[in-house]
Amino acid sequence: MGRLDKRIAVVTGGGRGIGRGISLVLADEGADIVIADIDRENAWDTAKEIEQKGRKATVVEMDVTNAGSVEAALTEAIGWQGHVDILVNNAGVVGSNVGGGAITAQDWDACYEVNLKGMWTVTRALVPHLREQGGGKVVNIASIAGRHGGAGLAHYNASKAGAISLTQSLAHELGPMNVNVNAVCPGLLWTDMWRHLEAAISGDDTPEVVDRRQVFERFIKTNCPLQREQTPEDIGQAVAFFASDAAKNITGQSLNVDGGIEMN
Ligand SMILES: NC(=O)c1ccc[n+]([C@@H]2O[C@H](COP(=O)([O-])OP(=O)(O)OC[C@H]3O[C@@H](n4cnc5c(N)ncnc54)[C@H](O)[C@@H]3O)[C@@H](O)[C@H]2O)c1
């Protein structure tokens, strides 16, 4: 018996990286998974891995920045097995990696549209279904970057601080509908996204001349009490907890999964 038997979870951005890890852990816990991603090819790769575990999986193409795409994808997701119980808002972008005042308006908008407004758009679109079925779980993937400001990634940091705040507001609004809303704040994971992050941390905005892995490891060694990087599966374990009945009386919380980099 898994903690999530008979549940259907929609994971945005589930095609690769952290979203893929979350999807695999939720499947291990007994859930069947809808991968909702802008990239269908990666999404099907994750879906096939889930099927190899003996669980069901499908793909819906979704651009979280487009309300029409979100509505259509969620209608398809609900129609798949007749219900959706868990929503994981994981899709995210970081944009270009530039310091100080050099962030472009385009990067700012992309971070805001995907990381913050996208989270709200997908949740809002699922609320009528969750209300009708008497409850559900929403887990937002924020970041330790949202815990405080820092040079280099103002647009990303602000979008993730917004995600933490949005989690609290939605927890207030959806609590009376028996919907728990919590967030996980990942620390540092060696995913595609990291290629954009590492130059900000190294202070070098020409990432092609930086040994990316070396910068990553140095940052972990200097800033992480447990001195090891986090994995998509680590994030998946925290999501599985929030999505389970064990967390039925927890809402509006944001949990750092970061080896102790942040302790607030
Ligand atoms: N990697 C890290 O160190 C780290 C740390 C903290 C938080 N996070 C957060 O975790 C989440 C996942 O990050 P990752 O490292 O796996 O990134 P990633 O770039 O490897 O994967 C992002 C996924 O989101 C999808 N996506 C992007 N834009 C989309 C859109 N408009 N609509 C639907 N899907 C879209 C992509 O296709 C991809 O599958 C993000 O929200 C990110 O901000 C990552």
Quick one: pLDDT band at residue 120, thresholds 50, 70, 90?
very high
Q: Is the CB of 38 under 6 A from ligand 1?
A: yes
Tell me whether residue 219 is in a domain.
no
Mean pLDDT of 194-220: 67
Q: What is the pLDDT of residues 19-76, one digit of tens each?
A: 999 999 999 999 999 999 999 999 999 999 999 999 999 999 999 999 999 999 999 9
The domain of 60 spans 8-188+231-257
| Residue 198 in this model has a pLDDT that exceeds 70 | no
In this prediction, residue 197 carries a pLDDT of: 60
Residue among 96, 173, 260 nearest 165 (CA): 173
Number of domains into which the chain is organized: 1
Question: How far from the centroid of its chain's Cα atoms is residue 88's Cα?
Answer: 6
Quick one: pLDDT band at residue 1, thresholds 50, 70, 90?
confident
In this prediction, residue 196 carries a pLDDT of: 59
Are the C-beta atoms of 245 and 85 separated by less than 8 Å? no
User: Is 156 annotated as catalytic?
Assistant: yes
pTM of the model: 0.96
Backbone angles phi, psi at 58, to 5 degrees: -145, 175
Tell me whether residue 68 is in a domain.
yes
Backbone angles phi, psi at 36, to 5 degrees: -115, 105
Q: Is the CB of 65 under 6 A from ligand 1?
A: yes
Q: What is the pLDDT of residues 234-250, one digit of tens each?
A: 999 999 999 999 999 99
Tell me whether residue 263 is in a domain.
no
Q: State the Cα–Cα distance between residues 232 and 192, nearest whole angstrom.
A: 12
Tell me whether residue 196 is in a domain.
no
Question: 29: which DSSP letter?
Answer: T
Tell me whether residue 151 is in a domain.
yes
Nearest CA to ligand 1 atom 2: 189
Q: Is the CB of 41 under 6 A from ligand 1?
A: no
| Residue 255 in this model has a pLDDT that exceeds 90 | yes
Q: Residue 103 maps to which CATH number?
A: 3.40.50.720
